[in-house]
Chain A
Amino acid sequence: MSRTTAVLGEPAQGESWRQAMDSGELLLVAAAGMLVVAAVAQTAAAGLVQPRIALAFGALIALGEVLRLSLEGGRESAPIGSAGAFAYAVVLTVGGQPALQPALQVIAVVAAGMVLGALPHLAAGRPAGLARMASRLIGVAVAAALFRPLSTIVAIARPGEWGLALALMAVVLVAGWLAECLLGALISADALRARFRVALWDEMRVQLPLGAAVAATAILIAFAADMMGLAALGVFIAPLLVTQMAFRRYAGIRATYLETVRALARVPEVGGYVEDGHARRVGRLAVLAGRELGMSEPQLLELEYAALMHDIGQLSLRDPIPGGATVLASREQQRRIAELGAGIIDQAGVLDGVAEIVRYQSWPWRGQERAPPVGSRIIRAANAFDDLVGASTETSRTMAALEWLRLDTATEYDPRVVEALAQVAGRRHRSRR
């Protein structure tokens, strides 16, 4: 199965980076590679300017790359490495001496540090993450290309003129960050078939907190290096390490949370209320259809939770519905199950949106006093689809189920949702072939 199985950016397991790479990613990595070759060639020809400074920053970048962390949605960040790289791009004086590295040398040093830092990951059998590295490198390259020439033309390094220098650094860093987000969004839009605008928005939302910390730290290093010299680099590792630790634990608990909901969503299946694998299949279908409809990542997460737990209300039934297929149950009973399920989720007190989606999952999309939320409409259709198709992969059965849903789009199933499902199902069949 191809990357259509990647739910919420969780890469399908067992795929090596080479297979997981898209054509878009390949293009990006190739572009970054050419840039690096040019930068290294130029730097080698002209000679390394101020090697001690280059070495210190390069080492920091390598360390940061070793310590990179994964963020939600399969994204990556290397806050320490990025802070070091951006600082090297904008530093003006080190220990009272002007810093003279040209933009191409910045790119060469940053690339060398990144590659060095990626080696331990490769040795440990983890993916190298070339595409994400390439977008980080290009972000730094944009900042360096804008700032290094400027620093030689405008005399911003004069003492007392830190206001101008600060403003320029801030503008350049924002530009670099935007370039990185743009590329990151391109990668995920391509890999997950998300809409580009939604992907960009998600990317910026996720990268903003760390991006702000990285930019502020880079500016601080650049200024502190004037007085403290290269010791500024050492002093700065500690606070960013703390930030990084907090982010790592945050990512960890998020993953455990999803794992737990996934596992416990199987409870009705083990209890014989529902067909095996139903919750997981509905969860996957719902997320893919939701992405097709342009939902953002936080909405998709809520949708996934709701889809996984949509049958939890069946636990309160004394006797299982035959086959557990709610599509064939009476409307009365469907509503009761939805209500009971929403009641259970309400108990948690932290998943109000999820409970709302579960509550209205049995509502027809039209003809009610109020329209059910989009999430509920998606789950309703995905649930019916899975009840009809199950784990089967036969094209004829899929087509028949879609036809069945289409017949009921006047009141029961939202036609946009059904078409999104058809897209998802069609893609799945093509990728199987």
Chain B
Amino acid sequence: MVTGAGHRSRGERTSKLSPAAWLYVAAVVTAAVAVLAQALGADPDLDGPVGQSWTMAVLVLLFLICDSTPTAVASRQSAWSPSSSVTLAAVVLVGPVGALVVGATSLFSVRRGLGLTQRVFNASMYGLSAWAAGQAYLAFGGEVGPPSHSSFPGIIAPFAVAAVVHVLINHGLLWGMLMLVPAAEPGPSGPALQRYLPMLALSDLGYATLGLLIAALWSVGGAFAAILVLVPLFVARWAIGQFAAQERAYAATMAALCQAVETKDWYTRGHSERVSRGSAMIAREVGMRGRRVEAIRYAGMLHDVGKLGVPTTVLQKNGALTEEELAAIQLHPMRGLAIVREIGFLDEALAGIMHHHERMDGSGYPMGLAGAEIPEFARVIAVADAFDAMTSNRSYRGARSIEEAVADLRKWSGAQFDPALVEAFVAALRREGWEQSRPATVHPADGVAQPDHDDPAAALRAVDSK
């Protein structure tokens, strides 16, 4: 379904479901069973269109083929398949109850790693959305049975309403489930499913029209038409799968390259990854939307890439810095910008990388911007960056606890950080928690005693150069 086939969360063990989620699943399943029982009670001998066993058999087979070959969408937790076109064809050919039965056969689709609870939930969800679409179709004057010449164009309006209802119910029910079951692996490695929902809803609507074609061609060619209809469906499925695979590969490559950046310094292991996550947490908290969150995620990941332009001997220097060495460190945001400028990013992300060491009071670098002059992305990254530096181990001090770090953020809020963003971060921390960096167990042979440039407590200071 397009919805249907929608997205389901896969691979989550039932034991992880909260009581609320159990209640939700039970409610959906009960509703589906009640609708089916009521329909069967009204038509005990199956005299209606549902009784056309040949049509039903072909529809169920088509549905199962579509539903058994889903595409993983985001981080393999959810999958999309174009089976909604079959359910909507069933709405026209065999009516709401028949469509419900077709959708409910999702219980038997051939997919590994799908628990019984999920199968039952999916089947009920598809069944309910198909039935509701069927009711909408009838309510707007649609007629059940293979369409003929005279059915067009009158059939288009009720069918469109049915398609919209189908998408709404499918996505709505699934969205409720996602709200109750937190994603198994949050974080920048897998783009959140929510990002894909609008695109998938649109695909679902597009493919819904194929449902009308399956129905229209039924009287001409029967199953043969359905096979042809499957071809564009599978091409779209392939393209969406390719897109998702590329996007995952992209995120993984980016993370690996950023790790390479960090091999220069033992103590900053995983720093980029955590700053990326923290920046995204703040961005979501202050209400940024999909694309901007994605951009800030990458900006956070790449914010220190310019440190590579700083000679390793300076980064790992034991003791105080000369003026030139200090200047080299203060230039790293600019060098970072020089590297990433050619990536087709939002300009905002570039500004975020360049200005992430500015301070609200204007005493930061490289430009000395103050207050609202500092781009929003840079203010966001600055908070996440400093917080991770404080909660990580450094050679000259141990990691501070989250509470201490929050207290410090608040202490410098206003002078160094944007107070609104600090509070947003604290709120997000409360809700989502924070995975602190593990203490570095291996110390490089030649100890690193240079205070971290990200650490607000260890401000950069130069000694007199000779």
Question: Smallest CB-CB separation from B214: which chain A residue?
Answer: A220
Which residue of the partner chain B has the closest CB to A351?
B253
Q: Quick one: closest B residue to A242, CB to CB?
A: B206
- Of all chain A residues, the one with the shortest Cβ separation from B159 is A235
Scoring B205, B232, B248, B259 by chain A CB atoms within 10 A of each residue's CB, the highest score goes to B232
Proximity bits, A215-232, B CB within 8 Å = 1, else 0:
111011001101111010
Indicate if the CB atoms of B246 and A250 lie closer than 8 Å. Answer: yes
Fill in one digit per residue for A246-272: 1 if any B CB lies within 8 Å of its CB, else 0: 110110011111011111101110111
Q: Tell me whether A270 and B338 are in contact (CB under 8 A).
A: yes
Q: Do A250 and B243 touch across chains, with their CB atoms under 8 A apart?
A: yes
Q: Cβ of A229 and Cβ of B206 under 8 Å apart?
A: no
Least Cβ–Cβ distance between A122 and chain B, in angstroms: 24
**Distance to closest chain A CB from B382 (angstroms):** 22
Q: Are A315 and B152 in contact (CB under 8 A)?
A: no
Q: Specify which chain B residues have a CB less than 8 angstroms from the CB of A227 in the assembled complex.
A: 147-149, 152, 216-217, 219-220
Measured in the bound complex, the distance between the Cα atoms of B237 and A247 in whole Å is 10
Do the beta carbons of B235 and A243 come within 8 Å of each other? yes
The segment from B58-66, B93-101, B339-347, B408-416 that touches chain A is B339-347
Q: Decide if A349 is an interface residue (CB 8 Å cutoff).
A: yes
Q: A219-B228, A224-B217, A227-B152 are in contact. Are A209 and B308 (CB under 8 A)?
A: no
Given the interface pairs A243-B236, A243-B239, A262-B342, the reply to whether A315 lies near B311 with Cβ below 8 Å is no
- Do residues B260 and A312 form an inter-chain contact, with CB atoms below 8 A? yes
Interface SS of chain B: helix
B235-264 contact mask (Cβ, 8 Å, vs A): 1 or 0:
110111011001111101111110111011
Cα A223 to Cα B213 with chains together (Å): 10
The range of chain B's interface size is 35 or more
Q: Among the listed B235, B250, B253, which residue makes an inter-chain contact with A210, where contact means beta carbons less than 8 Å apart?
A: B235
**A231 touching B153, Cβ below 8 Å:** yes
| Chain B residues whose CB sits within 8 angstroms of the CB of A231 once the complex forms | 152-153, 156
Chain A, Cβ-Cβ closest to B147:
A227
Q: Could you tell me the distance in whole angstroms from the C-beta of B286 to the nearest C-beta in chain A?
A: 25
Report Cα–Cα, A257/B243, bound state, in Å.
Answer: 12
Of A239, A263, A266, A347, the residue contacting B259 (CB under 8 A) is A347
Count residues of A near B (Cβ-Cβ below 8 Å): 63
Interface 1/0 per residue, A166-203 and B, CB below 8 Å: 10000000000000000000000000000000000000
- Residues of A in contact with B (beta carbons under 8 Å apart): 95-96, 162, 166, 209-210, 212-213, 215-217, 219-220, 223-224, 226-229, 231, 235-236, 238-243, 245-247, 249-250, 253-257, 259-264, 266-268, 270-272, 312, 315-316, 318-319, 344-351
In addition to A243-B236, A246-B239, 12 A-B residue pairs with Cβ atoms within 8 Å of each other are A166-B224, A224-B216, A224-B217, A235-B209, A242-B202, A246-B240, A253-B243, A257-B246, A267-B305, A271-B309, A315-B261, A315-B308
Which B residues lie at the A interface, using CB under 8 A?
147-149, 152-153, 156, 199, 202-203, 205-207, 209-210, 212-213, 216-217, 219-221, 224-225, 228-229, 231-233, 235-236, 238-240, 242-243, 246-250, 252-257, 259-261, 263-264, 305-306, 308-309, 311-313, 335, 338-344
14 A-B contacts, Cβ less than 8 Å apart? A166-B221, A210-B235, A213-B232, A235-B209, A235-B213, A238-B206, A239-B209, A242-B236, A263-B343, A267-B260, A312-B260, A315-B263, A315-B264, A348-B249
